Amino acid sequence: MFRMRTFFSAFVLVMIFFSTAAGAGLPVVSTSDLQNILTAEKGRVVVLNFWASWCGPCKQEIPELVRMRTGYPEDRVTIIGVSMDHDPQMMNEYLARQKVNYPMYLGTREVGIDYAVAGIPKLIVFDQAGEIAFTFEGLIRPAMLERIVDNLLDE
């Protein structure tokens, strides 16, 4: 009886998490999903941005990434956002006010662990071969990120 209740409780919690995430309007991405997305982007420089709607520095960084997205050809640079939000309503309200011009996903706890997201914002920049070229936790200066991307494009 106890096992049945424990199983049912765990099932309900999982269903609440996935229904909340699905209701968020962003596709939920697991580690394997994100790896597949990154693999599909080989040949391009990829800027992977982990963020959350409650994070002040993230709110400063996203408009810069939007601006940056328009400054590079889509066939050479990809920007991907992964929200680590636990409150889909807050995330939706923030995204409704933004004009984000790059793909956004809702990351699972597994993604945060596997990509070592200890603080946000966190950027991981991949070179054209799909290898990690640069990581940064905290608010990065736009000029620094652009230099990194430009250097990778020049290689």
Tell me which residues are annotated as active site. 55, 58
Q: Are 95 and 116 in contact (CB under 8 A)?
A: no
Residue 70: Cβ-neighbour burial (10 angstroms; 0-12, 13-18, 19+): exposed
Angle at 77 between CA 49 and CA 153, to 5 degrees: 115
Q: Answer yes or no: are the C-beta atoms of 125 and 140 closer than 8 Å.
A: no
Residues 6+ apart with CB under 8 A from 130: 38, 39, 41, 42, 46
Q: Which H/E stretch holds residue 45?
A: strand 45-51
125: phi then psi, degrees, rounded to nearest 5: -110, 125
